[in-house]
A and B are shown apart, each in its own frame.
Chain A
Amino acid sequence: MSKPYYDAADLRKFGKITEWSEELGTKFFDYYGKVFEEGALTAREKSLIALAVAHTEQCPYCIDAYTKDTLQRGITKEQMMEAIHVGAAIKSGATLVHGVQMMNKVNKLDG
């Protein structure tokens, strides 16, 4: 019987990475926690950025975590979807802007 690579319940075990490398794990989680604190950006803005990036990274754990986090902050589903579109626009833009490279090459080889 095959098992899926991703198990939603594994997200709860994230903290356990510290058990096999305590110093680095602890430093990571301290850093992570600090990043999401209220700063020049609000915690709410950071949560929306995280949600968009979770999608461009296509990390299922992050998507679960930041969907819940944005809901907890009272962010509406319309706002969540718009944030994902920002991520998608950058992803597609990043693909398409390379079209210029293709055009340059075509012009050089076959101009």
Chain B
Amino acid sequence: MATKSLKKLGNDLAQSNKQIEILSNGIFKSGELPTFKDKISETSQFPIKAKKLEILQINVGYMCNQVCDHCHVDAGPDRKEIMTRDTMRQCLEVIKNSGAHTLDLTGGAPEMNPDFRWFVEEASKVGITDFIVRSNLTIIRANKKYYDLPEFFKKHNVHVVSSMPHWTRGKTDKQRGDGVFDKSIKALQELNAVGYGMPGSDLKLDLVYNPSGAFLPGDQAAMEKDFKKALMEDFGIEFHNLFAITNLPIARFLDYLIASENYEDYMYSLVEAYNPAAVENVMCTNTLSISWDGYLFDCDFNQMLELPVNSKSRHISDFNEELLEGRNIVISQHCYGCTAGAGSSCQGVVA
């Protein structure tokens, strides 16, 4: 189990240009596999163009209490990139004036940002339809100061979306660290206790499943059934929906794929599972990702690869919805992760 980020370890793969180099060379350079651009061109889907903005995803910082093996953010306790209140103020202005109906806070562990609560309080006043916080669950049990998070989320009608790699302790702890499973179960029970995830409850609690290794997620509906059955039988836990998300070959997951000699096979799996119907609905077409320092990206993955939006409006301070709509999405081979099988997005399958 990792305890430090790639960045802290001085690993080459902490550099985004190194990751893009790997994704552009080898089997893709030799033509053994088609590049993502070539593949989507076969069905005349290049370039992918941004449609109307619906979701603003804000990454409030890369600091996290966990160091998960496959984290695409390379998050961890040693990451110091944290969104300031000034940038949050700029985000609030954009939320007020944009047409987006969903606000999605992510990290790292977003709750570790010292201004997290202030931001949630301010943002909840803006009247957004769906206000998501991506919580890793263990943060709720990490320190006394976080114990009241379920009540805090409830007060602001936050939609909680939490990672849960498996319904068994072994598979969960292998990916996310020893003790993560037990803490996550406790946190879910506490969320249930205040009404989250209960049948018919407006307090939405969804779980995110992503595979623990070099394989693609199974059918989302079947996985949801298995998760619901096991979590109810073993722990009496209720939740609403399960989002099955494919691991994208970047950051720590890319490092893992290469170290375990699974990189080529994994890329083959992604390319073989390519689904043109998923391209139609990839999340970058209706989402904007904002980094901790206020820059704009097509998605959280492009943010980590430091591939900025292809627009004159590149920072929250000069946000221009009209300019951004219709922009060409910046792509590379990691994009195959969102178009495999039933597709993958921060909201689960798309096709």
Contacts and interface: CB of A to CB of B under 8 A. Distances in A.
B276 interface: no
B216 A74 contact: no
A68 B218 contact: no
Nearest to A15: B272
A91 to B, nearest CB: 27
Nearest to B170: A76
Contact of A72 (B166, B167, B168, B215): B215
Nearest to B212: A71
A73 B167 CA distance: 12
A76 B168 contact: yes
B222 interface: yes
A76 B171 contact: yes
A12 B223 CA distance: 26
Given A42-B222, A44-B222, A76-B171, A71 B215 contact: yes
A42 B226 CA distance: 12
Contacts of A72: 211, 215-218
B177 interface: no
Contact of A74 (B170, B223, B268): B223
B211 A43 contact: no
Interface string B146-180: 00000000000000000000111011000000000
Contact of A12 (B166, B227, B268): B268
B212 to A, nearest CB: 8
Contacts, number: 32
Interface in A1-28: 12
Given A42-B222, A71-B215, A73-B222, 5 more contacts: A12-B272, A38-B222, A68-B215, A76-B166, A76-B170
B215 A43 contact: no
A74 B215 contact: no
Interface residues of A, number: 11
Contacts of B326: none
Contacts of B217: 72
A8 B218 CA distance: 22
Contacts of B226: 44, 74
Contact of B219 (A12, A43, A68, A76): A43
Interface residues of B, number: 19
Closest 9 CB pairs of A and B: A73-B218, A72-B218, A71-B215, A72-B215, A68-B215, A74-B226, A74-B223, A72-B216, A76-B168
B77 interface: no
Contacts of A68: 215
Nearest to B264: A9
B213 interface: yes
Interface in B195-210: 209
Interface string A84-109: 00000000000000000000000000
A67 to B, nearest CB: 9
Interface in B238-270: 268
A72 B219 CA distance: 8
A73 B226 CA distance: 9
Contact of A71 (B170, B211, B227): B211
Interface-centre pick from B167, B215, B218, B222 (highest chain A CB count, 10 A): B218
Contacts of B209: 74
A38 B222 CA distance: 10
Interface in A48-92: 68, 71-74, 76
Contacts of B166: 74, 76
- For A12, A44, A74, the residue with the greatest tally of chain B CB atoms inside 10 Å of its CB is A74
